[in-house]
Amino acid sequence: MVGIGLPELLVMCFVLVVTLIIPIWTANVAKGKGRNWVVWFVLGFLLNIVGLIIAYVLPVQAGGDYMKCSQCAEPVRREAKVCKHCGADLLKRA
């Protein structure tokens, strides 16, 4: 019999899903840490699970959803009212 059977079709679907889901996941993790979404999507596509691990290990970068605290220079969310690292009041920004 010639053609694609059910097991081959399931493997192809799994590979397709992994090939698309991992880069999107990698890009979203990196974006949450203030990184460029498009660059990390490409890295996730090329490196797959290794890119995802690298995105999780990377430190948070000021920018995007984060800013640096004016007192301790640690990254904190823009919506934060008090720095979680040093306790500085972030509402009194100049």
Q: Are 54 and 64 found together in one domain?
A: no
C-alpha pair distances (Å), 3 with each of 14, 16, 17, 80, 88 = 18, 19, 22, 58, 66
Task: Identify the residue whose tokens are 């959803």.
Answer: 65
pLDDT of residue 74: 86
75: containing domain = 60-94
pTM exceeds 0.85 for this model: no
The pLDDT value given to residue 63: 66
Q: What is the pLDDT of residues 19-76, one digit of tens each?
A: 889 999 999 999 888 888 999 999 999 998 999 999 999 888 766 678 888 888 888 8
User: Is residue 43 located within the same domain as residue 64?
Assistant: no
Domain co-membership, 54 together with 84: no
Alpha-carbon Rg for the chain, nearest whole angstrom, is 20
Q: Retrieve residue 43's tokens.
A: 């890295």
| Cα distance between residue 36 and residue 87, in whole Å | 29
Res 86 pLDDT > 80 = yes
Closest by CA to 35, choosing from 83, 74, 75, 73, is 75
Q: Quote the pLDDT of residue 93.
A: 58
Q: Domain check: are 64 and 92 in the same one?
A: yes
Q: Give dist(CA 31, CA 90) in Å, integer.
A: 23
